[in-house]
Structure 1
């Protein structure tokens, strides 16, 4: 499930012609690109939406790509939408999703510019694709490749919440067996945590926040490796400081997940930020205003070695992600 390996993606991108108008071209680890028109810098991101709760499909469709744009320091302003389904998809289904998407764009003060809707034989489930773009000031641009040696690695939400929330909405019986009925009801109301638009824009205004990444497909393993690769740095983090939701721990036990799978859990809406130590207090205060806690996992290092400290002992951080999202959401214990 999920993204191509960095090696496969690099091969895929080799045929793209260099264009002087493109400031940040397609690259592994970069979920947005940047180009200029006249004197403006535009941040653009596109994301699919598939295998998520239908009740929130349109909302997530907008927020996935909008979050990526915000993580680059740009306010999401405009978007296009593709809504596709298998033959037999009822018009009412598309209409419900479109109302959700319109509500999300209104909340973010975005405009829907264009799109496409249809049914196709090759599809077996709903598929949405949203492209979002917005203008960024040149000195506010943040990319995953801007981390600096000694920057703190700050995580904004516990790992695994996305999977737990979506399980509560898509497989209520299993969720209640694992988490209990009361907690399952609580989780079903936490979908909004899968967006990071508002806190990302607030963090982008902090000079000491050098880089940000969303822990989407592949979770912490994918995102931290991508930031290190893009910034040409290493890192050292402590296992005990990684915030893991209680539900993720229960899922790890129930599905016999490895440590790598636990750290690879898709955790959309969770920001990983590279922060100057002097800006730590400001970052903590901003996140507190959003009801979030700044968890410092460790720091980036000039030496390009990726280290996980566990119980005081150093070991290599996992090189490749193994996200259990699809396995968990489609399973029945």
Structure 2
């Protein structure tokens, strides 16, 4: 494990991000329903006949399967607003001298993932760029939804139940098992566990998220990417300007992943977690949300509540507060890159 003391890797802290947004955002069109802001990962534009949802995301903290991850991660961010992703643009930055056969393999991987999700590419840019040690891929994804289907992250309401869909930390465990297999082996993790973690988990939440929105079962959703389940919960609280209170023991974690990550000293709740989402749900629809998640093959459980109060996440365990966060944590996986 490598970590550079004092150097931040990952998303900017919100104190710095807010300053950047204030400098960049100078024009405001009335058709923009959701623009840049704490916790809101997607832009929403009112086109009259449909609500256009857009999102862009890079893959920077993985080396294997980055093409597939790039498509899935960007698509998830569109889907949790209630829109099915349909179009994408692709940015591929390659280190000088990166072998052409590997570029072609990367393109094939991207094409397969996009086909599985029904996404058409409408443009992009590819180049060999100086100063890179590994490829970086960014995907701009977009989709349309009906006005009633849109679910902004900032729409969590006091009294909502917070429901988790999918396991925490699966994506991070997968990346570590693929990119840092030797390190996990040195920690004594059995070969069969490494093989289990190295199989690609179910990382897309597109179908379940769109169904939850179209059925009108949720007030707010957020996918759990950088910062993991804890990061997603903080972002939901910030976007909604509410207090979110959760029971740490209720958060769903794959037992095999939890054991392996524990040997590395990694908190699975703060580890990148594509394939999981959180939703703020009216109490009367909780059972239907869990039933729909089960229909799609995802575990789901209530883990907390939304309350009036300052924008923050309160994490409890055994009835006592163990953590209080006002901005997302640094993702645990960032400690392995440096």
Query: Equivalents in 2 of 1:101, 1:220: separation in Å?
Result: 26
* Residue in 2 that maps onto 1:70: 79
TM-score under structure 1 length normalisation = 0.91
Matches within 5 A, 1:258-273: 261-273=267-279
**What's the offset of the Cα at 1:87?**
0.5
Query: TM-score, normalised to structure 2's length?
Result: 0.90
Kindly indicate whether the alpha-carbon contact (under 8 Å) linking 1:83 and 1:94 is maintained by their aligned counterparts in 2: no
1:46 and 1:29 map into 2 onto residues whose CA distance is 14
After TM superposition, give the deviation of residue 173 of structure 1 in Å. 3.0
Residues 178 and 301 from structure 1, CA distance in 2 versus in 1: closer, same or farther, beyond 3 angstroms?
farther
- List alignment gaps of at least 5 residues for structure 2: 1-8
1:113 and 2:119 aligned? no
Residues 1:310 and 2:317 aligned together: yes
1:4 aligns to 2:12 (yes or no): yes
CA distance in 2, matches of 1:224, 1:274: 10
Cα RMSD for the two superposed structures? 2.0
Say if 1:185 and 1:256 are closer, same or farther in 2 by CA, change over 3 A.
closer
Matched, 1:301 2:310: no
1:169 aligned residue: 178
Indicate conservation of the 8 Å contact 2:63/2:134, yes or no.
no
> Is 1:327 paired with 2:335?
yes
In structure 2, relative to structure 1, the CA distance for the partners of 1:50 and 1:303 (3 Å cut) is: closer
**What SS does structure 1 have at the residue aligned with 2:221?**
strand
Q: Which residue of 2 aligns with 1:229?
A: 238
1:27 aligns with 2:37: yes
Which residue, 171, 181, 199 being the options, matches 2:191? 181
Pair 1:49 & 2:59 matched: yes
Give a deviation string over 1:195-222, Cα, whole Å, max 9, x none. 2112211221231311111111111232
Mark the CA change 1:310 to 1:38 in structure 2 (over 3 Å): closer, same or farther.
Answer: closer
Shift of 1:83: 1.0
Q: Deviations over 1:297-319 (max 9, x none)?
A: 11101233643221122344233
The equivalent position to 1:125 in structure 2, one of 127, 131, 134, is 134
Query: After the TM superposition, which parts of structure 1 deviate over 4 Å for at least 4 consecutive aligned residues?
Result: none
Q: What is the rounded CA distance, in whole Å, between the counterparts of 1:118 and 1:306 in structure 2?
A: 41
CA contact (8 A) 1:178 1:250 kept: no
Corresponding residue SS for 1:98: helix
Change (3 A) 1:315 1:52: closer
Partner SS for 1:317 = strand
Alignment partner of 1:97 is 2:103: no
What is the total number of aligned residue pairs between the two structures? 325
Q: Which runs of no fewer than 5 residues in structure 1 stay unpaired?
A: none
Equivalent pair of 2:10/2:330 in contact (CA under 8 Å) = no
TM superposition shift of 1:111? 0.6
SS of 2:85's partner is: coil
How far, CA to CA, are the matches of 1:271 and 1:265 in structure 2? Answer: 13
Aligned to 2:253: 244
In the aligned structure 2, how far is the partner of 1:101 from the partner of 1:265?
Answer: 24
Deviation at 1:268, TM superposition (A): 1.8
Asked if 2 retains the 8 angstrom alpha-carbon contact of 1:161 and 1:247, the reply is no
